[in-house]
Amino acid sequence: MSFVEETVGYMIRRVQERMFAAFHRRFADSGLTPAAYATLATIDRNPGVRQGRIAEELGLQNSNMVNLIKSLVERGFVERHRSASDNRVFTLTLSSAGKLFIEKMNERALALDAEYTRSLSDEERRTLIELLGKMITDPQ
Amino acid sequence: MSFVEETVGYMIRRVQERMFAAFHRRFADSGLTPAAYATLATIDRNPGVRQGRIAEELGLQNSNMVNLIKSLVERGFVERHRSASDNRVFTLTLSSAGKLFIEKMNERALALDAEYTRSLSDEERRTLIELLGKMITDPQ
DNA sequence: TATTGTTATACTCTATAACTATA
DNA sequence: TATAGTTATAGAGTATAACAATA
């Protein structure tokens, strides 16, 4: 219907919208936004990471991390401690409740990902991730 | 750094953010948002289309089309006429100024698309669009 | 009774700038 | 002088519900 359908930009936007909606359907009862989930998953893999580093890695704004982290702490999933070596820094780790929680959420994320890539074969899904990875790691 | 990097959902979000920023850099002086550009491109290919149909096609909200169309009309790019057969409907066409404008914007969109897919070969770019297309056309 | 388009509004995500405390 | 984190705020994009006019 329009030649925008032949551009990557438009197609990505459409797919992203659908995935966003699907995420909120699947994670509605979890109280997690995509950013909050990605933050938890990053802390899980990198215990002791500081919040500014997570923001850099995930492409989030540092200022927007504050309330995000605060809510994760209040829910008992994340622990914040002052760094011993640098008193400006808060190091972040998962509590045992947080570890249990992220395990369940990881399962859910994988199921969700399988759901909205169900029209792709396993190989196509891998190819898609690989091509998107090339675009992201391109220094621009 | 996190296993979210192995999910399509996360990778799409990251790519989309970069493309969004690149769009605004390239189209800053045009006064077009991605939705406005896609709307113009759709009217160009489908003269006489009604605005609700564009919203459906592009995944936009009908209520959000109102101001979008209004600004395109005010800028002299789009003409709105009552449909002869159904008095509820406005048919949309491009003015000659709108046709000149969309041609330039199409060139710009293609250049932009080439820019942020520059880390991909032509074949990879085609593959990417094909895989995204499969996901979009999946009835879900 | 359903559909097209409109209005008003609210919510989420993201961006920016000024601030503090520490280095 | 630079960095980590905070606060407050503004903006864009999107979503929802109620409405008028027309079918």
Which overall architecture, per CATH, does domain B4-130 show? Orthogonal Bundle (1.10)
- Residue pLDDT tens, chain B, 140 long: 888 999 999 999 999 998 998 999 899 899 999 999 999 999 999 999 999 999 999 999 999 999 999 999 999 999 999 999 999 999 999 999 999 999 999 999 999 999 989 999 999 999 999 999 999 888 76
Using alpha carbons only, what angle is made at residue B6 by residues B137 and A121, rounded to the nearest 5 degrees?
40
Q: Which residues are paired to B90 by β-bridges? A: B82
Domain assignments of chain B as residue spans, ordered by start: 4-130
Q: In chain A, which among 7-46 make CB contacts under 8 A with chain B?
A: 7-20, 23, 34, 37-38, 41-42, 44-46
Instruction: Kindly list the residues from chain B whose CB atom is less than 8 angstroms away from the CB atom of residue A38.
Output: 2, 4, 10
CA–CA separation, B125 and B35 (whole Å): 22
pTM: 0.92
Confidence of residue A72 (pLDDT cuts 50, 70, 90): very high
Cβ of B106 and A3 within 8 Å? Answer: yes
Give yes or no for residue A116 having a pLDDT over 80: yes
Place of tokens 């570890």: A99
Question: What are A31-51's pLDDT values in tens digits?
Answer: 999 999 999 999 999 999 999
- Cβ-based neighbour number of residue B6 at 10 Å: 14
φ, ψ of residue B78 in degrees (nearest 5): -125, 140
Of A39, A34, A16, the closest CA to residue A93 belongs to: A39
Structure tokens at A1: 């219907």
The mean per-residue pLDDT over the stretch A110-121 comes to 93
Q: Kindly state the tokens that stand for A44.
A: 């899980």
Cα–Cα distance measured from residue A33 to residue A57, given in angstroms and rounded to the nearest whole number:
17
pLDDT over 80 at A139, yes or no: no
Chain B contact for A88 (CB, 8 A cutoff):
no
Q: How far apart are CA A48 and CA A81, in angstroms?
A: 9
User: How many angstroms separate the CA of residue A80 from the nearest CA in chain B?
Assistant: 19
Distance CA B72, CA B99 (A): 12
First and final C-alpha spacing in chain A: 31
Give the pLDDT of residue A59.
93
